[in-house]
Structure 1
Amino acid sequence: MTGNPRWQVIPVKLSQAQFEEFVLPHLSTGRRGPRPALTLHKTFNYILQVLYMGCQWKMLPIERNAKGLPEIHYTRIYRSFRRWQAEGCIDAIFAGSVSRLHDDSLLDLTVVHGDGTTTAAKKGGDNLGYSGHKHLKGDKVVPFCDRHCNVIAPFVSAPGNRNESPLLREALPKLTAMARAIGADLQGAIVSLDGVYDCRANRRAIFNRGMAPNIPENPRGRKTPKRGHKRRFDPAIFEERFRTIERVFAWEDKFRRLLLRFERISEVHYAFKTLAYTMINLRHDC
Protein backbone atom coordinates (compact mmCIF):
# COMPACT_ATOMS: atom_id res chain seq x y z
CA MET A 1 0.00 0.00 0.00
CA THR A 2 2.78 2.43 0.82
CA GLY A 3 4.71 1.60 -2.36
CA ASN A 4 2.04 2.96 -4.68
CA PRO A 5 2.33 6.77 -4.97
CA ARG A 6 -1.31 6.99 -6.03
CA TRP A 7 -2.29 6.28 -2.43
CA GLN A 8 -0.71 9.55 -1.33
CA VAL A 9 -2.35 11.88 -3.86
CA ILE A 10 -5.43 13.51 -2.35
CA PRO A 11 -7.35 15.60 -4.94
CA VAL A 12 -8.01 19.24 -4.11
CA LYS A 13 -9.63 20.11 -7.44
CA LEU A 14 -11.96 18.19 -9.74
CA SER A 15 -12.10 18.25 -13.51
CA GLN A 16 -15.38 18.76 -15.35
CA ALA A 17 -15.75 15.03 -16.04
CA GLN A 18 -14.95 14.09 -12.44
CA PHE A 19 -17.40 16.67 -11.11
CA GLU A 20 -20.21 15.41 -13.34
CA GLU A 21 -19.53 11.80 -12.31
CA PHE A 22 -19.02 12.09 -8.54
CA VAL A 23 -20.62 15.37 -7.40
CA LEU A 24 -23.28 16.70 -9.76
CA PRO A 25 -25.79 13.82 -9.29
CA HIS A 26 -26.00 14.71 -5.57
CA LEU A 27 -26.28 18.50 -5.84
CA SER A 28 -29.53 20.43 -5.73
CA THR A 29 -29.90 22.88 -8.59
CA GLY A 30 -32.23 25.86 -8.83
CA ARG A 31 -35.26 25.52 -11.08
CA ARG A 32 -36.36 29.12 -11.10
CA GLY A 33 -34.78 32.52 -11.60
CA PRO A 34 -32.00 33.66 -13.89
CA ARG A 35 -29.19 31.41 -14.95
CA PRO A 36 -26.24 31.54 -12.49
CA ALA A 37 -23.25 33.57 -13.56
CA LEU A 38 -20.87 30.69 -12.76
CA THR A 39 -21.15 26.96 -13.45
CA LEU A 40 -21.67 24.57 -10.56
CA HIS A 41 -18.33 22.97 -11.38
CA LYS A 42 -16.39 26.21 -10.80
CA THR A 43 -18.42 27.03 -7.69
CA PHE A 44 -17.63 23.64 -6.18
CA ASN A 45 -13.94 23.99 -6.99
CA TYR A 46 -13.90 27.37 -5.26
CA ILE A 47 -15.29 25.67 -2.15
CA LEU A 48 -12.55 23.04 -2.37
CA GLN A 49 -10.03 25.85 -2.72
CA VAL A 50 -11.22 27.42 0.53
CA LEU A 51 -10.98 24.01 2.21
CA TYR A 52 -7.45 23.41 0.93
CA MET A 53 -5.99 26.90 1.37
CA GLY A 54 -7.67 27.65 4.69
CA CYS A 55 -8.20 31.30 3.78
CA GLN A 56 -11.16 33.48 4.69
CA TRP A 57 -14.02 33.60 2.24
CA LYS A 58 -13.35 37.24 1.38
CA MET A 59 -9.69 36.41 0.66
CA LEU A 60 -10.53 33.67 -1.84
CA PRO A 61 -8.58 34.30 -5.09
CA ILE A 62 -11.37 34.62 -7.65
CA GLU A 63 -10.59 34.78 -11.35
CA ARG A 64 -11.28 37.94 -13.35
CA ASN A 65 -13.68 38.23 -16.26
CA ALA A 66 -13.15 40.09 -19.53
CA LYS A 67 -13.91 43.42 -17.82
CA GLY A 68 -11.25 42.86 -15.18
CA LEU A 69 -13.81 42.28 -12.41
CA PRO A 70 -14.18 39.17 -10.21
CA GLU A 71 -16.33 36.66 -12.06
CA ILE A 72 -18.42 36.07 -8.91
CA HIS A 73 -18.69 37.55 -5.42
CA TYR A 74 -17.42 35.36 -2.60
CA THR A 75 -20.73 35.64 -0.71
CA ARG A 76 -22.51 33.80 -3.53
CA ILE A 77 -20.06 30.91 -3.23
CA TYR A 78 -20.63 30.84 0.53
CA ARG A 79 -24.42 30.84 0.07
CA SER A 80 -24.18 27.93 -2.37
CA PHE A 81 -22.08 25.99 0.13
CA ARG A 82 -24.54 26.66 2.98
CA ARG A 83 -27.49 25.67 0.79
CA TRP A 84 -25.86 22.37 -0.20
CA GLN A 85 -24.96 21.71 3.44
CA ALA A 86 -28.48 22.43 4.68
CA GLU A 87 -30.10 20.25 2.00
CA GLY A 88 -27.85 17.25 2.76
CA CYS A 89 -25.92 17.37 -0.52
CA ILE A 90 -22.51 17.22 1.19
CA ASP A 91 -23.49 14.05 3.07
CA ALA A 92 -24.89 12.56 -0.15
CA ILE A 93 -21.60 13.21 -1.97
CA PHE A 94 -19.72 11.41 0.80
CA ALA A 95 -22.12 8.46 0.73
CA GLY A 96 -21.71 8.30 -3.04
CA SER A 97 -17.93 8.07 -2.68
CA VAL A 98 -18.27 5.14 -0.26
CA SER A 99 -20.71 3.41 -2.61
CA ARG A 100 -18.30 3.91 -5.51
CA LEU A 101 -15.47 2.30 -3.51
CA HIS A 102 -17.69 -0.70 -2.77
CA ASP A 103 -18.75 -1.08 -6.40
CA ASP A 104 -15.10 -0.98 -7.50
CA SER A 105 -14.13 -3.61 -4.86
CA LEU A 106 -11.73 -1.18 -3.17
CA LEU A 107 -13.12 -1.64 0.34
CA ASP A 108 -11.61 -4.16 2.75
CA LEU A 109 -14.10 -4.42 5.61
CA THR A 110 -12.57 -7.44 7.30
CA VAL A 111 -11.09 -4.95 9.78
CA VAL A 112 -12.66 -1.59 10.65
CA HIS A 113 -10.47 0.95 12.46
CA GLY A 114 -11.90 3.77 14.53
CA ASP A 115 -10.56 6.60 16.64
CA GLY A 116 -11.34 10.11 17.78
CA THR A 117 -9.66 13.38 16.87
CA THR A 118 -9.98 16.79 18.52
CA THR A 119 -9.85 20.16 16.74
CA ALA A 120 -9.06 23.38 18.59
CA ALA A 121 -11.52 26.26 18.18
CA LYS A 122 -9.80 29.65 18.56
CA LYS A 123 -12.82 31.85 17.82
CA GLY A 124 -15.48 30.09 19.89
CA GLY A 125 -18.78 28.77 18.59
CA ASP A 126 -21.31 26.05 19.35
CA ASN A 127 -20.75 22.40 20.28
CA LEU A 128 -17.44 23.16 22.04
CA GLY A 129 -15.90 22.02 25.31
CA TYR A 130 -12.57 22.18 27.10
CA SER A 131 -10.52 18.99 26.84
CA GLY A 132 -8.33 18.57 29.90
CA HIS A 133 -6.34 15.83 28.15
CA LYS A 134 -5.49 17.99 25.13
CA HIS A 135 -5.49 21.27 27.08
CA LEU A 136 -7.58 23.05 24.48
CA LYS A 137 -11.14 24.12 23.79
CA GLY A 138 -12.68 22.50 20.75
CA ASP A 139 -14.74 19.62 19.44
CA LYS A 140 -14.05 16.00 18.56
CA VAL A 141 -15.26 13.49 15.98
CA VAL A 142 -15.11 9.67 15.82
CA PRO A 143 -14.78 8.31 12.24
CA PHE A 144 -14.25 4.78 10.91
CA CYS A 145 -12.03 3.61 8.05
CA ASP A 146 -11.23 0.29 6.39
CA ARG A 147 -7.84 -1.37 5.98
CA HIS A 148 -7.04 0.80 2.94
CA CYS A 149 -7.56 4.17 4.64
CA ASN A 150 -11.01 4.75 3.13
CA VAL A 151 -13.44 6.59 5.40
CA ILE A 152 -16.56 4.43 5.42
CA ALA A 153 -18.99 6.03 7.89
CA PRO A 154 -20.23 9.53 8.74
CA PHE A 155 -18.47 10.68 11.87
CA VAL A 156 -20.09 11.41 15.21
CA SER A 157 -19.33 14.86 16.63
CA ALA A 158 -19.29 16.06 20.24
CA PRO A 159 -17.80 18.84 22.39
CA GLY A 160 -14.16 18.41 23.35
CA ASN A 161 -14.93 17.76 27.03
CA ARG A 162 -16.93 14.59 26.32
CA ASN A 163 -15.36 11.18 26.77
CA GLU A 164 -14.88 9.25 23.54
CA SER A 165 -16.04 5.92 24.92
CA PRO A 166 -19.81 6.65 24.92
CA LEU A 167 -19.51 8.19 21.45
CA LEU A 168 -18.75 4.77 20.00
CA ARG A 169 -22.27 3.56 20.77
CA GLU A 170 -23.60 6.55 18.81
CA ALA A 171 -21.24 5.94 15.89
CA LEU A 172 -21.88 2.21 15.40
CA PRO A 173 -25.46 2.66 14.08
CA LYS A 174 -24.12 5.02 11.39
CA LEU A 175 -21.52 2.43 10.44
CA THR A 176 -24.08 -0.34 10.03
CA ALA A 177 -26.50 1.98 8.24
CA MET A 178 -23.83 2.89 5.68
CA ALA A 179 -22.97 -0.79 5.18
CA ARG A 180 -26.63 -1.56 4.57
CA ALA A 181 -26.95 1.33 2.11
CA ILE A 182 -24.03 0.16 -0.06
CA GLY A 183 -24.85 -3.56 0.28
CA ALA A 184 -21.76 -4.49 2.30
CA ASP A 185 -21.64 -7.26 4.89
CA LEU A 186 -20.04 -6.48 8.27
CA GLN A 187 -20.79 -9.87 9.84
CA GLY A 188 -17.57 -11.19 11.34
CA ALA A 189 -15.67 -7.94 10.82
CA ILE A 190 -13.13 -6.93 13.46
CA VAL A 191 -13.51 -3.47 15.01
CA SER A 192 -10.08 -2.22 16.12
CA LEU A 193 -10.15 0.56 18.71
CA ASP A 194 -7.94 2.23 21.29
CA GLY A 195 -7.93 1.27 24.96
CA VAL A 196 -10.10 4.26 25.86
CA TYR A 197 -13.07 2.39 24.34
CA ASP A 198 -12.55 -0.64 26.58
CA CYS A 199 -15.79 -1.14 28.50
CA ARG A 200 -18.50 -3.76 28.71
CA ALA A 201 -21.14 -1.61 27.00
CA ASN A 202 -18.93 -0.96 23.95
CA ARG A 203 -17.96 -4.60 23.57
CA ARG A 204 -21.60 -5.65 23.85
CA ALA A 205 -22.66 -3.06 21.24
CA ILE A 206 -20.06 -4.45 18.80
CA PHE A 207 -21.02 -8.08 19.47
CA ASN A 208 -24.73 -7.32 19.02
CA ARG A 209 -24.00 -6.12 15.46
CA GLY A 210 -22.23 -9.35 14.53
CA MET A 211 -18.72 -7.93 14.76
CA ALA A 212 -15.77 -8.72 17.00
CA PRO A 213 -13.93 -6.06 19.06
CA ASN A 214 -10.16 -5.83 19.06
CA ILE A 215 -9.56 -3.49 22.00
CA PRO A 216 -6.62 -3.66 24.44
CA GLU A 217 -7.67 -3.96 28.06
CA ASN A 218 -7.50 -0.69 29.94
CA PRO A 219 -5.88 -1.26 33.38
CA ARG A 220 -7.61 1.86 34.77
CA GLY A 221 -5.02 2.21 37.52
CA ARG A 222 -5.26 -1.41 38.73
CA LYS A 223 -2.20 -2.76 40.51
CA THR A 224 -3.16 -6.38 39.82
CA PRO A 225 -4.60 -7.96 36.64
CA LYS A 226 -8.35 -8.08 36.33
CA ARG A 227 -9.93 -11.36 37.33
CA GLY A 228 -11.60 -13.58 34.75
CA HIS A 229 -10.67 -14.77 31.28
CA LYS A 230 -8.52 -12.61 29.05
CA ARG A 231 -10.21 -10.64 26.30
CA ARG A 232 -9.50 -11.53 22.70
CA PHE A 233 -6.86 -9.14 21.39
CA ASP A 234 -4.58 -9.27 18.34
CA PRO A 235 -1.57 -6.89 18.69
CA ALA A 236 -0.83 -7.07 14.95
CA ILE A 237 -4.29 -5.74 14.04
CA PHE A 238 -4.02 -3.08 16.71
CA GLU A 239 -0.65 -1.97 15.32
CA GLU A 240 -2.27 -1.64 11.90
CA ARG A 241 -4.42 1.21 13.28
CA PHE A 242 -1.47 3.56 13.17
CA ARG A 243 -1.03 2.91 9.44
CA THR A 244 -4.71 3.48 8.68
CA ILE A 245 -6.77 5.77 10.88
CA GLU A 246 -3.78 7.88 11.89
CA ARG A 247 -2.85 8.22 8.23
CA VAL A 248 -6.38 9.41 7.49
CA PHE A 249 -5.99 12.08 10.17
CA ALA A 250 -2.67 13.11 8.62
CA TRP A 251 -4.29 13.39 5.19
CA GLU A 252 -7.08 15.43 6.77
CA ASP A 253 -4.48 17.95 7.97
CA LYS A 254 -3.60 18.59 4.33
CA PHE A 255 -6.74 20.72 4.22
CA ARG A 256 -5.68 23.80 6.16
CA ARG A 257 -9.24 24.85 6.90
CA LEU A 258 -9.46 21.89 9.30
CA LEU A 259 -6.22 22.43 11.22
CA LEU A 260 -8.08 24.90 13.46
CA ARG A 261 -11.80 25.46 13.65
CA PHE A 262 -12.62 29.08 12.80
CA GLU A 263 -16.30 28.47 11.99
CA ARG A 264 -18.59 29.49 14.82
CA ILE A 265 -21.37 27.36 13.32
CA SER A 266 -20.50 23.70 13.84
CA GLU A 267 -22.50 22.49 10.82
CA VAL A 268 -20.23 24.50 8.51
CA HIS A 269 -17.10 23.01 10.05
CA TYR A 270 -18.48 19.47 9.84
CA ALA A 271 -19.48 20.01 6.21
CA PHE A 272 -15.87 20.96 5.43
CA LYS A 273 -14.66 17.86 7.27
CA THR A 274 -17.07 15.66 5.33
CA LEU A 275 -15.77 17.13 2.06
CA ALA A 276 -12.19 16.37 3.14
CA TYR A 277 -13.09 12.73 3.84
CA THR A 278 -14.83 12.59 0.46
CA MET A 279 -11.66 13.79 -1.30
CA ILE A 280 -9.68 11.12 0.56
CA ASN A 281 -12.07 8.47 -0.78
CA LEU A 282 -11.89 9.88 -4.32
CA ARG A 283 -8.11 9.60 -4.51
CA HIS A 284 -8.50 6.28 -6.37
CA ASP A 285 -10.41 7.88 -9.28
CA CYS A 286 -9.09 11.46 -9.34
Structure 2
Amino acid sequence: MAQSPSWQEIPTRLSVQEFEQFVWPHLSKGRRGPARKLSALAIFNYILRLLYLGCQWKELPIDKDRHGRPEIHYTRIYRAFRRWGADGCFDALFEGSVFKLHQDNRLDTSVIHGDGTTSAAKKGGDNLGFSGHKKVKGCKVVALCDRNCNVIAPFVSAPGNRNESPLLREALPQLTRIARAVGLDLRGSVVSLDGVYDCRRNRKAIFNRGMIPNINPNSRGRKTPKRGRKARFNPAIFKERFRTIERVFAWEDKFRRLLMRFERLSQLHYALKTLAYTMINLRHYCRS
Protein backbone atom coordinates (compact mmCIF):
# COMPACT_ATOMS: atom_id res chain seq x y z
CA MET A 1 0.00 0.00 0.00
CA ALA A 2 1.38 3.41 -0.98
CA GLN A 3 1.63 5.67 2.04
CA SER A 4 1.15 9.42 1.88
CA PRO A 5 2.78 12.03 4.15
CA SER A 6 -0.56 12.50 5.92
CA TRP A 7 -1.10 8.78 6.42
CA GLN A 8 -2.11 9.04 10.08
CA GLU A 9 -2.91 12.74 10.22
CA ILE A 10 -6.70 12.95 10.44
CA PRO A 11 -7.81 16.58 9.97
CA THR A 12 -9.74 18.17 12.83
CA ARG A 13 -9.77 21.71 11.41
CA LEU A 14 -10.02 22.96 7.84
CA SER A 15 -8.49 25.99 6.21
CA VAL A 16 -10.39 28.36 3.94
CA GLN A 17 -9.13 26.68 0.76
CA GLU A 18 -9.89 23.15 2.05
CA PHE A 19 -13.38 24.16 3.19
CA GLU A 20 -14.27 25.83 -0.10
CA GLN A 21 -12.99 22.86 -2.12
CA PHE A 22 -14.40 19.90 -0.19
CA VAL A 23 -17.20 21.09 2.11
CA TRP A 24 -18.88 24.28 0.94
CA PRO A 25 -20.34 22.87 -2.33
CA HIS A 26 -22.27 20.23 -0.31
CA LEU A 27 -23.74 22.46 2.41
CA SER A 28 -27.21 23.96 2.21
CA LYS A 29 -27.31 27.75 2.15
CA GLY A 30 -30.04 29.70 3.90
CA ARG A 31 -32.02 32.16 1.78
CA ARG A 32 -33.98 33.91 4.51
CA GLY A 33 -33.38 35.46 7.90
CA PRO A 34 -30.56 37.62 9.23
CA ALA A 35 -26.98 37.21 8.12
CA ARG A 36 -24.68 34.89 10.06
CA LYS A 37 -22.51 36.33 12.81
CA LEU A 38 -19.81 33.85 11.77
CA SER A 39 -18.90 32.24 8.47
CA ALA A 40 -19.93 28.70 7.62
CA LEU A 41 -16.25 27.73 7.86
CA ALA A 42 -16.05 28.82 11.49
CA ILE A 43 -19.28 26.98 12.39
CA PHE A 44 -18.10 23.81 10.62
CA ASN A 45 -14.76 23.95 12.45
CA TYR A 46 -16.62 24.30 15.75
CA ILE A 47 -18.54 21.10 14.92
CA LEU A 48 -15.23 19.36 14.17
CA ARG A 49 -13.85 20.67 17.47
CA LEU A 50 -16.78 19.18 19.39
CA LEU A 51 -16.38 15.90 17.50
CA TYR A 52 -12.69 15.77 18.38
CA LEU A 53 -12.86 16.93 22.00
CA GLY A 54 -15.96 14.92 22.93
CA CYS A 55 -17.38 17.65 25.16
CA GLN A 56 -21.01 18.68 25.62
CA TRP A 57 -22.48 21.30 23.34
CA LYS A 58 -22.72 23.83 26.17
CA GLU A 59 -19.09 23.17 27.14
CA LEU A 60 -17.76 23.76 23.61
CA PRO A 61 -14.79 26.17 23.86
CA ILE A 62 -15.75 29.22 21.83
CA ASP A 63 -13.35 32.01 20.96
CA LYS A 64 -13.90 35.53 22.28
CA ASP A 65 -14.62 38.59 20.18
CA ARG A 66 -12.95 41.97 20.57
CA HIS A 67 -15.27 42.78 23.50
CA GLY A 68 -14.22 39.68 25.42
CA ARG A 69 -17.54 37.88 24.90
CA PRO A 70 -18.11 34.53 23.09
CA GLU A 71 -18.30 35.26 19.37
CA ILE A 72 -21.32 32.95 18.98
CA HIS A 73 -23.67 31.02 21.24
CA TYR A 74 -23.38 27.24 21.17
CA THR A 75 -27.06 26.86 20.27
CA ARG A 76 -26.42 28.59 16.93
CA ILE A 77 -23.78 25.98 16.13
CA TYR A 78 -26.11 23.18 17.23
CA ARG A 79 -28.93 24.47 15.02
CA ALA A 80 -26.59 24.64 12.02
CA PHE A 81 -25.53 21.04 12.71
CA ARG A 82 -29.16 19.90 12.91
CA ARG A 83 -30.06 21.74 9.71
CA TRP A 84 -27.14 20.32 7.71
CA GLY A 85 -27.92 16.83 8.99
CA ALA A 86 -31.60 17.09 8.07
CA ASP A 87 -30.72 18.38 4.58
CA GLY A 88 -28.44 15.40 3.91
CA CYS A 89 -25.32 17.56 3.69
CA PHE A 90 -23.10 15.16 5.61
CA ASP A 91 -24.08 12.25 3.36
CA ALA A 92 -23.32 14.37 0.29
CA LEU A 93 -20.02 15.42 1.84
CA PHE A 94 -19.05 11.78 2.40
CA GLU A 95 -19.99 10.83 -1.17
CA GLY A 96 -17.97 13.77 -2.47
CA SER A 97 -14.90 12.55 -0.58
CA VAL A 98 -15.20 9.10 -2.18
CA PHE A 99 -15.61 10.69 -5.61
CA LYS A 100 -12.48 12.82 -5.08
CA LEU A 101 -10.46 9.75 -4.05
CA HIS A 102 -11.67 7.89 -7.14
CA GLN A 103 -10.77 10.81 -9.40
CA ASP A 104 -7.21 10.90 -8.04
CA ASN A 105 -6.76 7.10 -8.23
CA ARG A 106 -6.32 6.80 -4.48
CA LEU A 107 -8.80 3.94 -4.11
CA ASP A 108 -7.65 0.33 -4.20
CA THR A 109 -10.86 -1.69 -4.40
CA SER A 110 -9.24 -4.94 -5.47
CA VAL A 111 -9.98 -6.00 -1.88
CA ILE A 112 -12.82 -4.55 0.22
CA HIS A 113 -12.72 -5.13 3.97
CA GLY A 114 -15.81 -4.98 6.14
CA ASP A 115 -16.57 -5.27 9.82
CA GLY A 116 -18.85 -3.94 12.53
CA THR A 117 -18.26 -1.77 15.58
CA THR A 118 -20.43 -1.07 18.63
CA SER A 119 -20.86 2.24 20.47
CA ALA A 120 -22.05 2.18 24.07
CA ALA A 121 -24.98 4.48 24.94
CA LYS A 122 -25.29 4.84 28.71
CA LYS A 123 -27.57 7.88 28.49
CA GLY A 124 -30.33 6.07 26.59
CA GLY A 125 -31.93 6.90 23.29
CA ASP A 126 -33.50 5.24 20.27
CA ASN A 127 -32.19 2.39 18.10
CA LEU A 128 -30.43 0.72 21.05
CA GLY A 129 -30.01 -2.87 22.18
CA PHE A 130 -27.92 -4.90 24.61
CA SER A 131 -24.92 -6.57 23.00
CA GLY A 132 -24.18 -9.85 24.74
CA HIS A 133 -20.73 -10.01 23.15
CA LYS A 134 -19.62 -6.52 24.23
CA LYS A 135 -21.71 -6.55 27.43
CA VAL A 136 -22.94 -3.02 26.75
CA LYS A 137 -26.17 -1.39 25.63
CA GLY A 138 -25.70 0.60 22.49
CA CYS A 139 -25.81 0.62 18.70
CA LYS A 140 -23.58 -0.85 16.01
CA VAL A 141 -22.61 -0.05 12.45
CA VAL A 142 -21.15 -2.10 9.60
CA ALA A 143 -18.60 -0.23 7.48
CA LEU A 144 -16.63 -1.12 4.32
CA CYS A 145 -13.21 0.21 3.33
CA ASP A 146 -10.60 -0.38 0.63
CA ARG A 147 -6.99 -1.52 1.01
CA ASN A 148 -5.83 2.05 1.66
CA CYS A 149 -8.09 2.53 4.71
CA ASN A 150 -10.59 4.73 2.86
CA VAL A 151 -14.24 4.27 3.82
CA ILE A 152 -16.04 3.72 0.53
CA ALA A 153 -19.63 3.00 1.54
CA PRO A 154 -22.13 4.60 3.94
CA PHE A 155 -22.36 2.46 7.03
CA VAL A 156 -25.48 0.52 8.02
CA SER A 157 -26.70 1.13 11.58
CA ALA A 158 -28.64 -1.16 13.90
CA PRO A 159 -29.29 -1.73 17.63
CA GLY A 160 -26.55 -3.46 19.57
CA ASN A 161 -28.49 -6.71 19.90
CA ARG A 162 -28.76 -7.26 16.14
CA ASN A 163 -26.61 -9.92 14.53
CA GLU A 164 -24.11 -8.46 12.07
CA SER A 165 -24.55 -11.16 9.43
CA PRO A 166 -27.91 -9.89 8.04
CA LEU A 167 -26.61 -6.31 8.16
CA LEU A 168 -24.12 -7.12 5.41
CA ARG A 169 -26.97 -7.69 2.97
CA GLU A 170 -28.18 -4.18 3.79
CA ALA A 171 -24.71 -2.69 3.39
CA LEU A 172 -24.00 -4.20 -0.04
CA PRO A 173 -26.75 -2.20 -1.84
CA GLN A 174 -25.28 0.97 -0.31
CA LEU A 175 -21.87 -0.06 -1.62
CA THR A 176 -23.13 -0.63 -5.16
CA ARG A 177 -25.16 2.59 -5.06
CA ILE A 178 -22.22 4.80 -4.19
CA ALA A 179 -19.96 2.90 -6.62
CA ARG A 180 -22.44 3.64 -9.39
CA ALA A 181 -22.67 7.30 -8.33
CA VAL A 182 -18.90 7.90 -8.45
CA GLY A 183 -18.24 5.65 -11.47
CA LEU A 184 -16.43 2.90 -9.57
CA ASP A 185 -16.33 -0.61 -11.06
CA LEU A 186 -16.36 -3.27 -8.34
CA ARG A 187 -16.65 -6.34 -10.57
CA GLY A 188 -13.98 -8.83 -9.58
CA SER A 189 -13.29 -7.19 -6.22
CA VAL A 190 -12.70 -9.47 -3.24
CA VAL A 191 -14.89 -8.83 -0.18
CA SER A 192 -12.97 -9.93 2.92
CA LEU A 193 -14.99 -10.57 6.09
CA ASP A 194 -14.60 -12.44 9.35
CA GLY A 195 -16.45 -15.57 10.44
CA VAL A 196 -19.56 -13.85 11.76
CA TYR A 197 -20.64 -13.18 8.15
CA ASP A 198 -20.13 -16.80 7.03
CA CYS A 199 -23.45 -17.95 5.58
CA ARG A 200 -24.80 -18.96 2.20
CA ARG A 201 -27.01 -15.89 1.77
CA ASN A 202 -24.11 -13.49 2.28
CA ARG A 203 -21.91 -15.33 -0.19
CA LYS A 204 -24.73 -15.34 -2.74
CA ALA A 205 -25.36 -11.61 -2.25
CA ILE A 206 -21.69 -10.89 -2.92
CA PHE A 207 -21.58 -13.19 -5.98
CA ASN A 208 -24.71 -11.59 -7.45
CA ARG A 209 -22.93 -8.22 -7.49
CA GLY A 210 -19.97 -9.58 -9.45
CA MET A 211 -17.64 -9.68 -6.44
CA ILE A 212 -15.78 -12.55 -4.79
CA PRO A 213 -16.33 -13.41 -1.10
CA ASN A 214 -13.33 -14.13 1.11
CA ILE A 215 -15.00 -15.07 4.40
CA ASN A 216 -13.26 -16.84 7.23
CA PRO A 217 -15.11 -20.21 7.64
CA ASN A 218 -17.08 -20.42 10.87
CA SER A 219 -17.69 -24.02 11.96
CA ARG A 220 -20.08 -22.92 14.72
CA GLY A 221 -22.70 -22.04 12.12
CA ARG A 222 -23.13 -25.69 11.07
CA LYS A 223 -24.16 -28.76 13.06
CA THR A 224 -22.28 -31.08 10.71
CA PRO A 225 -19.23 -30.49 8.47
CA LYS A 226 -20.12 -29.13 5.06
CA ARG A 227 -19.84 -31.65 2.25
CA GLY A 228 -18.30 -30.99 -1.14
CA ARG A 229 -15.76 -28.41 -2.20
CA LYS A 230 -14.66 -25.94 0.44
CA ALA A 231 -15.47 -22.26 0.01
CA ARG A 232 -12.74 -20.00 -1.34
CA PHE A 233 -10.68 -18.39 1.43
CA ASN A 234 -7.29 -16.67 1.25
CA PRO A 235 -5.71 -16.22 4.73
CA ALA A 236 -3.21 -13.65 3.42
CA ILE A 237 -6.02 -11.34 2.29
CA PHE A 238 -7.93 -11.88 5.53
CA LYS A 239 -4.84 -10.90 7.54
CA GLU A 240 -4.94 -7.42 5.94
CA ARG A 241 -8.03 -6.51 7.95
CA PHE A 242 -5.90 -5.66 10.99
CA ARG A 243 -4.17 -2.84 9.06
CA THR A 244 -7.25 -1.71 7.15
CA ILE A 245 -10.70 -1.86 8.70
CA GLU A 246 -9.40 -2.19 12.27
CA ARG A 247 -7.15 0.83 11.66
CA VAL A 248 -10.16 2.80 10.41
CA PHE A 249 -12.03 2.01 13.62
CA ALA A 250 -8.95 3.07 15.63
CA TRP A 251 -8.89 6.38 13.73
CA GLU A 252 -12.60 6.75 14.46
CA ASP A 253 -11.82 6.53 18.18
CA LYS A 254 -9.66 9.63 17.77
CA PHE A 255 -12.93 11.56 17.70
CA ARG A 256 -13.85 11.28 21.37
CA ARG A 257 -17.48 12.18 20.78
CA LEU A 258 -17.89 8.75 19.15
CA LEU A 259 -16.29 6.70 21.93
CA MET A 260 -19.64 6.78 23.71
CA ARG A 261 -22.98 7.80 22.23
CA PHE A 262 -24.44 10.80 24.08
CA GLU A 263 -27.07 11.77 21.47
CA ARG A 264 -30.50 10.39 22.26
CA LEU A 265 -31.51 10.74 18.61
CA SER A 266 -29.69 8.16 16.54
CA GLN A 267 -29.59 10.29 13.39
CA LEU A 268 -27.48 12.89 15.21
CA HIS A 269 -24.95 10.27 16.34
CA TYR A 270 -24.79 8.81 12.84
CA ALA A 271 -24.31 12.28 11.34
CA LEU A 272 -21.24 12.75 13.55
CA LYS A 273 -19.98 9.31 12.57
CA THR A 274 -20.44 10.11 8.87
CA LEU A 275 -18.48 13.33 9.39
CA ALA A 276 -15.67 11.37 11.09
CA TYR A 277 -15.45 8.91 8.17
CA THR A 278 -15.35 11.86 5.77
CA MET A 279 -12.41 13.38 7.64
CA ILE A 280 -10.64 10.01 7.46
CA ASN A 281 -11.07 10.07 3.67
CA LEU A 282 -9.88 13.68 3.43
CA ARG A 283 -6.64 13.00 5.30
CA HIS A 284 -4.92 12.79 1.88
CA TYR A 285 -5.74 16.43 1.14
CA CYS A 286 -6.22 18.29 4.44
CA ARG A 287 -3.67 19.05 7.11
CA SER A 288 -4.71 18.93 10.74
Report the TM-score when normalising by structure 2: 0.97
Separation in structure 1 between the aligned mates of residue 205 and residue 221 of structure 2, nearest angstrom: 25
Task: Report the alpha carbon displacement of residue 33 of structure 1 after superposing the two structures with TM.
Answer: 1.8
- Secondary structure at the aligned position of 2:240 is classed as helix
- Measured in 2, the distance between the counterparts of 1:59 and 1:120 equals 21
Match of 1:283 in 2: 283
Cross-structure match for 1:265: 265
Answer whether contact 2:4 2:284 (CA < 8 A) is retained: no
- The whole-number CA distance in structure 2 between the counterparts of 1:251 and 1:150 is 11
Query: 1:197 Cα deviation (Å)?
Result: 0.3
Using the alignment, how far apart are the partners of 1:273 and 1:157 within structure 2? 11
Aligned equivalent of 1:161? 161
Distance 1:3 1:94, change over 3 A: closer
Paired position in structure 2 for 1:79: 79
Q: Name the residue aligned to 1:138.
A: 138
Unpaired runs of 5+ residues, structure 2, are none
Q: Which residue of 1 aligns with 2:195?
A: 195
Q: Distance in 2 between matches of 1:6 and 1:35?
A: 36
In structure 1, the residue matched to 2:23 is: 23
User: 2: distance between equivalents of 1:209 and 1:202?
Assistant: 11
User: What is the CA–CA distance in structure 1 between the aligned matches of 2:211 and 2:269, rounded to whole Å?
Assistant: 31
1:183 maps to which residue?
183
| In structure 1, distance between residues paired with 2:5 and 2:50 | 25
Structure 1 counterpart SS, 2:119: strand
Q: Relative to 1, partners in 2 of residues 1:3 and 1:277: Cα closer, same or farther, differing over 3 Å?
A: closer
Measured in 2, the distance between the counterparts of 1:196 and 1:97 equals: 30
Q: How many angstroms does 1:225 deviate by? A: 3.5
Superimposed CA distance per residue, residues 126-174 of structure 1 (whole angstroms, 9 cap, x where no aligned partner): 0000011111100000010000000000000000000000000000000
Aligned equivalents of 2:175 and 2:224: distance in 1?
36
**1:226 Cα deviation from its structure 2 partner:** 2.3
The percentage of counterpart residues that share the same residue type is 73
How far apart are the structure 1 equivalents of 2:224 and 2:179?
40
- 2:203–2:213 Cα contact (<8 Å) kept: yes
Question: How far off its partner does 1:4 sit?
Answer: 5.0
Q: Residues of 2 paired with 1:277 and 1:77: CA distance?
A: 21
Q: How does 1:118-129 map to 2 (within 5 A)?
A: 118-129=118-129
Q: How many corresponding residue pairs? A: 286
Q: Which runs of 4+ in 1 moved over 2 A?
A: 1-5, 221-226
Q: CA RMSD in A?
A: 1.2
2:115 matches 1:115: yes
Q: What is the TM-score with the length of structure 1 in the denominator?
A: 0.98
1:221 offset after TM fit, Å? Answer: 6.8
Distance 1:164 1:39 in 2: 41
Rounded to whole Å, the distance in 1 between the matches of 2:6 and 2:36 is 36
Cα distance in 2 between the residues matched to 1:265 and 1:224: 44
Q: Distance in 2 between matches of 1:173 and 1:224?
A: 32
Equivalent residue, structure 1, for 2:227: 227
Shift of 1:58: 0.5
Distance 1:216 1:225 in 2: 15
| Alignment correspondent of 1:96 | 96
How has the CA–CA distance of structure 1 residues 2 and 101 changed in structure 2, closer, same or farther, with 3 Å as cutoff? Answer: closer
Give the secondary-structure state (helix, strand or coil) at the position aligned to 1:130: strand
Give the deviation of 1:2 after TM superposition. Answer: 8.2
